[in-house]
Amino acid sequence: MQSKRLIINRFKCAYCGACISVCKNNANELVETFLRIDENKCNCCGLCVKVCPMNALSIEEV
């Protein structure tokens, strides 16, 4: 069984907060100047990937 994980490309991320505003599980948060994803809360629904204006987020199988 493969699982999925949300990946952040920190070189692309503008820390705009678009992903935070659409996350229904409150899995994304800004900590100082870094985006942090709580993998225990994230269900990899893909909403944040769709709204990211910088294409900094992706879902990968691990």
pLDDT digits (tens, 9 = 90+) for 13-40: 999 999 999 999 999 999 988 899 999 9
58 DSSP 8-state letter: E
Higher pLDDT, 50 or 33: 50
Give the per-residue pLDDT at 33. Answer: 83
Beta partners for residue 7, in sequence order = 58
CA dist 55 → 2, 8, 17, 40 (Å)? 24, 9, 13, 23
All domains of the chain, ordered by start, with CATH?
Answer: 4-61 (3.30.70.20)
Classify each residue of 7-43 as buried b or exposed e, where b means 16 or more C-beta atoms within 10 Å of its C-beta: ebeeeebeeeebbbeebeeebbeeeeeebebeeeebe
**What is the rounded average pLDDT of the residues 35-58?**
96
Give the per-residue pLDDT at 62. Answer: 86
* Per-residue pLDDT at 1 exceeds 70: no
| Phi then psi dihedrals of residue 22, to 5 deg | -100, -10
